[in-house]
Amino acid sequence: MKEGDIELLNEIARFEDSHDIEKEFKIGWSWRHVRIWPATLNRLFKDGYLDNVFKSNSYTGYRLTELGKAVATQKETQPTETLQLQKLSLPDDIFGQFCQRMCPFLCQFAGQGLKLKLKWAVPYDRQNFRANLQPMI
């Protein structure tokens, strides 16, 4: 399910609630009635949220399935949660860990004759790493 699908299902549920589906749309509603692109409706149909009531060369009729109704009503009844921000921290020796893991890998490719462009020339010395960090010119 994509990000905006719940809102689309809510719109479809409101449309079906505001109309008498059995009288007005016996063969189902079309994309023109709900103003949602057919490709999106087709994806929702494949995911099981819509039922294909009628299909012809010029018209495709849909209705919400029980799963679609449940998802639409579930999201409406759930209160919106507040987003809690989490502070991220970086380790002090992030570049040292990178070089420790990547230098054997890069040396392997350099030995095969591949040329790699690096932004920084870093000697592989774990004790004096920060002192030996020099930019390439």
Q: For residue 30, what is the domain's CATH number?
A: 1.10.10.10
**Residue 130 covered by a domain:** yes
**Residue at 51 is within a domain:** yes
Are the CB atoms for 111 and 104 separated by under 8 Å?
no
> Which pTM value belongs to this model?
0.53
What is the tens place of the pLDDT at every residue in 65-75? 999 999 888 85
CB 60 within 8 A of CB 30: yes
The first and second tokens of residue 117, run together, are 């462009």
Burial 14-44 (b: 16+ CB within 10 A, else e): ebbeeeeeeeebeebbbbebbebeeeebebb
Asked whether residue 24 is domain-assigned, the answer is yes
Which domain, by its residues, includes 104?
94-135
First to last CA, the chain: 49
Shared-domain flag, residues 100 and 73: no
Answer yes or no: do 60 and 106 share one domain.
no
Tens-digit pLDDT profile for residues 71-120: 888 855 555 555 567 777 766 666 666 666 666 655 555 555 444 454 45
